[in-house]
Structure 1
Amino acid sequence: MTASEEAFLKPRALRPGATLGVISPASTPKRELVERGLAELQAAGYQTKLGKYAFGGGPLYYAGTLGERLEDMHAAFADDTVDGIICTRGGWGSAELLPYLDKDLVRSNPKAFIGYSDHSSLHTWLQNEAKLITFYAPMVASDFARDNGVDRASWQNTFEGASEWSLDGNDGLRALQPGLSEGNLLGGCISILAAGLGTPFAPHFPGSILFLEDIGTKPYQWDRMLLHLRYSGRLDGVTGIVFGDMAQCVSPEEEDLLERAILHGLRGFPGPVAIGLRCGHVDGANRTLPLGVRVRLDLTDAKNPRLSFLEAAVSV
């Protein structure tokens, strides 16, 4: 049974006063950025608890050895004083943890897991193996350390348990292909998701609305990875697709080419397709997306595109 076919576990809400465990499952973050991001989280009312290896110092570009990064992630789930888990940054390395993650530990201690980019492999594992709602959302060094790096409205709606809210054109959403669909929101960084195909940790999206974004990815590469997803059958049963803000992938002059390449890669896809959602690799305020919740993508009116969240992402 795949993640989209079974009810997801909802972690508890993260209101001001909650304690966030801070870990680095992938690359080494810059200490000054982590400290700046922690100060911003604390100013927002959260307590923070650093993982033993959160500041890095591992081999190559990793924040720690495989064992050290795994230890920090397991410790954060096991710690009763930690209400949710947030990553410092992405980079590369999360996929190394997948064969060793403790499914029973996670299911016994369902907590918000917050991160994006390279952590798409962890989102996929947590959804497929632990059936846990996860959060493609701002990270400590990557976003909380930046001026205007976090969209507060979507963060609060998500983590404080709003049952109905939406993202629209003010969040960058634009229609590429009209339509109306519903499904569980899944997805993440397309290059990480595509890299998982053919492994025991491949993503599954049937019945979902799929969110896809990336950084530094050229139009032909989007076309190629979408074709890979199609050939693998991973787009079968997907009811709608939302692409992220492409400013980190192409210049404004290449935007039209990129959109045509995406539609070429999706030729024959019957559902609605949107683009431009400012979530993940963005320059400005990063939107929070709860993955696993029921959503509606309404692109029937191109002037009023809307991604509506139909249930609370957390238990309140």
Structure 2
Amino acid sequence: MRPHFVRPPRLPPGSRVAALSLSSGFVTEVMGRYHAGVRQVADALGWEVVPAPNALRGPEFLYENPRARTDDLHWALQNPDIHGMVSLIGGDDSVRLLPFLDPELIRAHPKALLGYSDTTITLTQFLRAGVRAYYGPSLLTDLAENGGMHPFALDGLRRALVEEPRPFDLAPAPEWTEFRVEWEDETLQEVRRPFQPGDGWVWLQGEMPAEGHLMGGCLEVLDMLNGTSGWPSSDL
């Protein structure tokens, strides 16, 4: 029998969303990018992004204090004025949060957590606690995309976190880019990056139908998690 996963409440316009530095404190080196993300989220989704107490304390402090990063997550979960959470950026260090994370708080205060890359560690702990979480954009990446949030990403966010649940068909992104922009150069923030057309679906392991819970995440980060106390059990 499959486990039941709690669905966090929706995040309609007017929601307050905590920005978390769960891994790297890099955000303080690109504060213009941070403010662009806050502004674009407000304009496109109507959310008010507020930094968690330790989120903007810089790379050195956050590296030396993994518990402070965990405290921010616990603060956001327990704070009635915070309705959801978004990771600021990825990295490779949030596995050090595992000894301090309280899965009972995650279960007792289910709130949407959005993030990608290294946030996979924390998203998996939501999975282990029986709460749905969302592998997707972070504040400094897609939410602060140059020239505005991409319509494909924005549509997915609205469907996952804002609108009431309804059936929908998955579709691949119509375009993609690897064009690199220096985030430190704030004059480029309003310049859209060049994109190229997508190639449609590419199936890596056959075309047989499958059924079950969908678990997203970064495979490289899941490899970091393997063998730790945070690894998900086989019955999820």
TM-score by length of 1: 0.59
| 2:171 corresponds to which of 165, 168, 171 | 168
Q: Relative to structure 1, is the Cα distance of residues 146 and 205 closer, same or farther in structure 2, using a 3 angstrom cutoff?
A: farther
The alignment status of 1:54 with 2:82, answered yes or no, reads no
Higher strand share: 1
8 Å Cα contact 2:67-2:100 kept in structure 1: no
SS in 2 for 1:179: coil
Map 1:153-232 to 2 at 5 A: 153-159=155-161, 160-170=163-173, 172-176=200-204, 177-204=206-233
Corresponding residue of 1:33: 33
Corresponding residue of 1:80: 80
8 Å Cα contact 1:90-1:118 kept in structure 2: yes
Q: Relative to structure 1, is the Cα distance of residues 43 and 63 closer, same or farther in structure 2, using a 3 angstrom cutoff?
A: farther
Letter in 2 for 1:65: N
Corresponding residue of 1:16: 13
8 Å Cα contact 2:95-2:224 kept in structure 1: no
- Within 2, Cα distance between the matches of 1:63 and 1:40? 28
Q: Note the C-alpha offset of 1:161.
A: 2.6
Map 1:111-150 to 2 at 5 A: 111-128=111-128, 130-147=129-146, 148-150=148-150
Map 1:219-298 to 2 at 5 A: none
| 1:177-227 Cα deviation digits (max 9, x unpaired) | 2121111001310011112222211234657xxxxxxxxxxxxxxxxxxxx
- Within 1, Cα distance between the matches of 2:70 and 2:203? 40
The alignment status of 1:102 with 2:89, answered yes or no, reads no
Q: Relative to structure 1, is the Cα distance of residues 102 and 144 closer, same or farther in structure 2, using a 3 angstrom cutoff?
A: same
8 Å Cα contact 2:92-2:221 kept in structure 1: no
Letter in 1 for 2:13: P
Between the two proteins, the alignment pairs up a number of residues equal to 202
Q: Note the C-alpha offset of 1:149.
A: 4.4
- Within 2, Cα distance between the matches of 1:15 and 1:32? 26
Q: Note the C-alpha offset of 1:170.
A: 4.6
Letter in 1 for 2:15: A
SS in 1 for 2:37: helix
- Within 1, Cα distance between the matches of 2:20 and 2:35? 13
SS in 2 for 1:97: helix
Moved over 6 A (4+): none
TM-score by length of 2: 0.78
8 Å Cα contact 1:25-1:63 kept in structure 2: no
Letter in 1 for 2:170: L
- Within 1, Cα distance between the matches of 2:103 and 2:233? 18
Map 1:61-72 to 2 at 5 A: 62=62, 65-72=65-72
Letter in 1 for 2:93: G
Q: Relative to structure 1, is the Cα distance of residues 79 and 97 closer, same or farther in structure 2, using a 3 angstrom cutoff?
A: same
Corresponding residue of 2:184: none
Letter in 1 for 2:139: V
Letter in 2 for 1:162: P
Q: Which sections of structure 1, spanning at least 5 residues, go unmatched?
A: 208-316
8 Å Cα contact 1:27-1:56 kept in structure 2: no
8 Å Cα contact 2:98-2:229 kept in structure 1: no
Letter in 2 for 1:167: L
Corresponding residue of 2:186: none
Identity of aligned residues (%): 27
SS in 2 for 1:22: strand
